[in-house]
């Protein structure tokens, strides 16, 4: 077991080269005002002596962590891994590190995580809200301090922050329209218990589609739950018991749509024959379940890149509040067997 070598500091280099620490600091930073030959000597000495800059000291001095935080309900989804991949690419190019935290959809964990990020002095934050979240008070500290904040995917409109998302109204409309065109007359909608703006938008799209196709809106066909797996199962059972059974359902996320299909099958209901099912997100499960799930797909990678880019813009020029602070990305519906009544 060999001893751990001592850390080299700019003072060591300064001593070795008979210059001041200030010069070494400037030299390593590639400062123009330092003589080119001195600069070279410094770089060489640093290399030879095995120097590594101490970011911890630099961070303190500059009051800047060079870290961007990103938080979301869960990162166990292909969508989210794409978001992160996109954000990481943009941010690492700009010299920032990305720290990640999951809220596991809990508001209290979201509050704690936000606080932790704040205390860790992230230079900026990207947030996709937890299902439970109903207001943005716990992010006020960021706004007050002028720390750039970008919401993505699960956004709430906020006057001072950018939001990057898809057009959930349109997506909800499109998928409902698809079900209608498959011949569905009584379409259930299963959405989030606490109506986040995302869920509310999908709901609005659903309503609008019914309206446009002259299908009466029926309160009884709406189920509000936390969209857990068990909720899908539960709703499947409820459907069975309804006097006027629905012939289609639009569920606001895939996980729930999948558990719903599973239970329907268990109960002997044919999907899509008896009941057509559509989800939202195009998660991995969507193409594992039999029949494969019709759903809404959107590009997480682009969303990550877009959100990160806007964050950087603010970091570079805080005054430049972009005019439009709600950015809408494209989405499209992917039609699979779970909704195809007509071949």
Question: What is the binding site for DNA (CB under 7 A)?
Answer: 7, 9-11, 18-23, 25-26, 28-29, 32-36, 38, 53-54, 57-58, 60-63
**Interacting residues of 147 by C-beta distance below 8 A, sequence separation 6+:** 118, 122, 123, 124, 125
**Strand, helix or coil for residue 10:** helix
Burial 54-75 (b: 16+ CB within 10 A, else e): eeeeeeeeeeebbbbbbbbbeb
Whether a cis peptide bond, with omega within 30° of 0, leads into 291 is yes
State how beta strands 222-225 and 248-251 pair: unpaired
Using the minimum distance from each CB to DNA, give the nearer residue, 28 or 75: 28
| Partner that binds at residue 329, options DNA, a second copy, none, CB closer than 5 to 8 Å by kind | none
Kind plus residue range of the DSSP H or E element containing 150: strand 149-152
| Partner that binds at residue 38, options a second copy, DNA, none, CB closer than 5 to 8 Å by kind | DNA
Residue of the chain from 16, 21, 28, 100 that contacts a second copy (CB under 8 A): 100
Rounded Cα gap, residues 327 and 305, in angstroms: 12
Among 79-87, 167-175, 181-189, 257-265, the segment contacting a second copy (CB under 8 A) = 79-87
Using the minimum distance from each CB to DNA, give the nearer residue, 40 or 74: 40
Residues of span 270-329 touching a second copy by CB under 8 A: 284, 287-288, 301
Using the minimum distance from each CB to DNA, give the nearer residue, 18 or 214: 18
CB of 55 to DNA, least distance (A): 8
Rounded Cα gap, residues 240 and 233, in angstroms: 11
CB of 194 to DNA, least distance (A): 36
Rounded Cα gap, residues 304 and 307, in angstroms: 5
| Partner that binds at residue 244, options a second copy, DNA, none, CB closer than 5 to 8 Å by kind | none
CB of 33 to DNA, least distance (A): 4
Site string for a second copy, 16-55 (x = CB under 8 A): ------------------------------------xxxx
Give the helix, strand, coil percentages of the chain, each rounded to 5.
Answer: 45, 15, 40
CB of 141 to DNA, least distance (A): 15
């Amino acid at each position: 077991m060999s001893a751990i070598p001592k850390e080299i500091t700019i003072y060591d280099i300064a001593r070795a080269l008979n210059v001041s620490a200030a010069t070494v600091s400037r030299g390593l930073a590639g400062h123009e005002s330092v003589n080119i030959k001195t600069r070279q000597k410094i770089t060489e000495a640093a290399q030879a002596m095995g120097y590594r800059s101490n970011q911890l000291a630099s961070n303190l001095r500059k009051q800047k962590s060079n870290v961007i935080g990103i938080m979301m309900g869960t990162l166990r989804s292909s969508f989210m891994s794409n978001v992160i991949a996109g954000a990481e690419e943009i941010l690492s190019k700009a010299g920032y590190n990305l720290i990640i935290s999951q809220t596991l959809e809990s508001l209290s964990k979201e509050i704690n995580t936000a606080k932790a990020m704040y205390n860790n002095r992230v230079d900026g934050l990207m947030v996709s809200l937890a299902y439970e979240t109903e207001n943005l008070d716990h992010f006020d500290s960021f706004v007050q301090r002028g720390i750039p904040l970008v919401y993505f995917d699960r956004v709430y409109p906020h006057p001072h922050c950018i939001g990057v998302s898809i057009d959930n109204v349109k997506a909800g409309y499109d998928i409902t329209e698809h079900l209608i065109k498959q011949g569905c007359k009584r379409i259930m909608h299963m959405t989030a218990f606490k109506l986040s703006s995302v869920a509310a938008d999908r709901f609005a799209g659903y309503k609008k589609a019914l309206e446009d196709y002259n299908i009466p809106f029926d309160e009884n066909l709406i189920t509000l739950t936390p969209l857990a797996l068990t909720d899908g199962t539960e709703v499947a059972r409820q459907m069975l018991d309804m006097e006027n059974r629905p012939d289609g359902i639009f569920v606001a996320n895939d996980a729930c749509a999948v558990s719903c299909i599973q239970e329907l099958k268990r109960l002997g209901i044919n999907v899509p024959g008896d009941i057509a099912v559509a989800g939202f997100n195009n998660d991995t499960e969507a193409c594992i379940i039999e029949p494969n799930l019709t759903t809404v797909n959107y590009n997480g990678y682009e969303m990550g890149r877009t959100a990160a880019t806007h964050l950087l813009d603010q970091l570079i020029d805080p005054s430049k509040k972009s005019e439009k602070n709600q950015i809408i990305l494209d989405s499209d519906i992917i039609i699979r067997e779970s909704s195809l009544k007509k071949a």
